[in-house]
Amino acid sequence: MNELIMMKINGMDVHFQKGKTILEVCKGAGIYIPTLCYDERLKPHGGCRLCLVEIKGRPVPLTSCTTPGEAGMEVTTESPKLTRLRKTVLELLLSNHPNDCMVCEASGDCSLQEMAYLYGASLDRFQGEKWSLPIREDNPFISFEPNKCIVCGRCTRICNEVVMAGTIDLVNRGFNAMPETAFAKPRTLENCEFCGQCVSTCPTGALTDKKGRGKGRIGDVKKVKTTCSYCGTGCNFYLNVKNDKVVRVTSDFEAPVNKGNLCIKGRYGYDFIHSKERLTTPLIREGEGFREASWDEALTLVASKFNALIKEHGADKVGGFSSSRCSNEENYLLSKWVRCAVGSNNVDNCARV
């Protein structure tokens, strides 16, 4: 176990494990430091300059997300100077940002909006050229509004560092820098996994889920934590529910298994929930069709068929094939039923190979 060392943060003694950055130490101690380019799933970047802190003995403020904590450090996270610097950074970002929070899909769930309000940033302190780029809708799952991009690089970094698909990267330089695919080609299954990881990390309304647009913002929905049923990994996420309907899926960054990461099925494969074709009652085949039945009738029929099969052919002719879409407990019960009730060891699982 790493030995604990100590630093002073805002005059308070804080113990931490060597190797952590100042930002990580502050987060662990419940001390707020604003960030826009930071995501704990990604390598430290230090691009937004909002996480600047003052360190005694250092001539200039340093980014807390890239500066390792050291024993004996004396760190200040809030001061008039830091407030002025952060406010200026935010005002520079707002100088090229559309002032459409009233109709923005991410309103209420936008880090830039939250911090601009927190630091009292002005919308018109800096005047200059503004982007006037069209919304990109060439993706079946993701809407990209380039005018709202703050070029934090989180979407490109998560695509390259976590998903490792390399679908997007920052292109051009200076004012024209923008996350883009190679040769500006539309995303397809040939160059994109459609996992929505870029959406999950975007701190503004630049990247949003197309399927959920206009169906309810963060304050309109109820978040219900659940576990993905598509495989046995056990990824957690939040169903965003409005009027008893799932309108989108958002990441659970505290999930022990996936830490907010999801695949295309987990993030966008929720249409089946409200499908009119979902079975709501057991069906028993009669002739060429099916008729509805009660659970007692259906289970009695299944049990009688198994008993007849075992009596005629023996227990070794019966087996159980479980699904990774079921919980561990359900798979265990199937295994126990086959081994104990049926008397067979023919048990398998679809994910074994």
Tens-place pLDDT, residues 318-340: 999 988 778 788 889 999 999 99
Nearest residue to 123 (alpha-carbon basis) of 147, 90, 146, 148: 90
What angle do helix axes 111-118 and 80-94 make, rounded to 10 degrees? 130
Nearest residue to 35 (alpha-carbon basis) of 53, 51, 54: 51
Domain that holds residue 164: 101-274
pLDDT for position 187: 87
- Which two three-digit tokens encode residue 122? 């002005």
* Domain assignment of residue 208, yes or no: yes
Give the domain CATH number at 253: 3.30.70.20
Q: Give the DSSP letter of residue 21.
A: B
Question: Is residue 43 located within the same domain as residue 18?
Answer: yes
Question: Is residue 261 located within the same domain as residue 168?
Answer: yes
φ and ψ of 266, to 5 deg: -65, -40
Q: How far is CA 53 from CA 56, 148, 221, 237, 326, in A?
A: 10, 27, 36, 33, 48
Residue with tokens 């975007």: 202
* Domain assignment of residue 158, yes or no: yes
Query: Cβ(53)–Cβ(7) under 8 Å?
Result: no
Last residue of a domain, one of 214, 243, 274: 274
The distance of Cα 301 from the centroid of its chain, to the nearest Å, equals 44
Mean pLDDT (10-residue bins), the chain, 353 residues: 86 94 96 96 95 96 96 96 97 93 94 96 89 90 95 96 95 93 88 94 96 93 93 91 96 95 95 91 94 96 94 94 84 94 91 64
pLDDT for position 353: 55
Question: Is residue 107 located within the same domain as residue 211?
Answer: yes
* Domain assignment of residue 177, yes or no: yes
Question: Is residue 262 located within the same domain as residue 296?
Answer: no
Nearest residue to 282 (alpha-carbon basis) of 303, 297, 266: 297
pLDDT for position 189: 85
CA angle, residues 18, 23, 25, in degrees to nearest 5: 45
Annotate 244-279 with b (16+ C-beta within 10 A) or e (fewer): eebbbbbbbeebeebebbbbeebbbebeeeeeeeee
Question: Is residue 58 located within the same domain as residue 154?
Answer: no
Question: Is residue 176 located within the same domain as residue 149?
Answer: yes
Last residue of a domain, one of 78, 112, 136: 78
Q: Give the amino acid at 75.
A: V
* Domain assignment of residue 255, yes or no: yes
* Domain assignment of residue 279, yes or no: no
Give the domain CATH number at 56: 3.10.20.740
pLDDT for position 110: 96
Question: Is residue 309 located within the same domain as residue 194?
Answer: no
Task: Give the CA radius of gyration of the chain.
Answer: 27
Question: Is residue 25 located within the same domain as residue 111?
Answer: no
Last residue of a domain, one of 242, 274, 306: 274
Question: Is residue 223 located within the same domain as residue 199?
Answer: yes
Question: Is residue 150 located within the same domain as residue 211?
Answer: yes
CA gap 15, 310 in Å, rounded: 65
pLDDT for position 196: 95
- Is 203 exposed, middle or buried (CB count within 10 Å of its CB: 0-12, 13-18, 19+)? buried
* Domain assignment of residue 92, yes or no: no
Beta strands 347-349 and 320-322 are: parallel
Q: How many domains does the chain have?
A: 3
pLDDT for position 229: 85
pLDDT for position 190: 86
pLDDT for position 324: 77
pLDDT for position 2: 67
* Domain assignment of residue 188, yes or no: yes
- Is 231 exposed, middle or buried (CB count within 10 Å of its CB: 0-12, 13-18, 19+)? middle
Question: Is residue 115 located within the same domain as residue 187?
Answer: yes
Q: How far is CA 117 from CA 6, 114, 158, 188, 326, in A?
A: 33, 5, 27, 38, 45
242: region left, alpha or beta (phi > 0 left; psi from -120 to 50 alpha): beta
Question: Is residue 247 located within the same domain as residue 322?
Answer: no
CA gap 346, 330 in Å, rounded: 17
φ and ψ of 264, to 5 deg: -60, -35
* Domain assignment of residue 87, yes or no: no
